[in-house]
Amino acid sequence: MSHDDDLDLELGRLRDATADLLPSAGFADRVMAAVAEVPEVTLIDVVGRWGRWAVAAAAMAAAAASFIAVDVEQDVNAEVISTFDAVEVSP
């Protein structure tokens, strides 16, 4: 028998021996009493949570829009410069 088998046997024995440990009587009542003290989630909490997401999404959209606007402006400038260079004035 390997060392690991030995360890597993020992842990198995302790698992079986501790199987009948139960929570004390009235444990569920105590949990429910603690739960009763948790304030209810109100509409304001929900709106507040979604509001934070909305603000974050709007900020990201604004950042993306600024980036695109700058990029487009650079393209337009390049286009204007190349067009200007290409103008031929006939005598």
Partner 1 sequence: MSADLQLQAARVAKGDRAAFRTIVEQTQVPLHRLAIRLLGNPAEAEDVLQEAYVKAFRALSADRFSGDSAVQTWLYRIVTNAALDHMRRRRSKEKSSDAAPEPQMDGAGSAEARMALRELDAWLQDLTPDQRAVVILKAVEGMTTPEVAEVLACSEGAVEQRLVRARATLREKRDLTESQKP
What residues from 54 to 73 belong to the interface with partner 1 (CB under 8 A)?
none
Among 1, 22, 86, 87, binds partner 1 (CB under 8 A): 22
Residue 60 CB, nearest distance to partner 1 (Å)?
22
- What's the closest the beta carbon of residue 61 comes to partner 1, in angstroms? 25
Tell me how many degrees the CA angle 53-62-44 measures, rounded to the nearest 5: 25
Q: How far is CA 76 from CA 62, 69, 81, 91, in A?
A: 21, 10, 9, 29
Residue 17: phi, psi to the nearest 5? -70, -25
Nearer to partner 1, 49 or 65 (CB): 49
Q: Which is nearer to partner 1, 19 or 87 (CB)?
A: 19
User: What sign has the CA pseudo-torsion 50, 53, 54, 55?
Assistant: positive
List of residues contacting partner 1 (CB under 8 A): 3-4, 6-8, 10-15, 17-25, 27-28, 30-32, 34-36, 38, 40-41, 45, 49
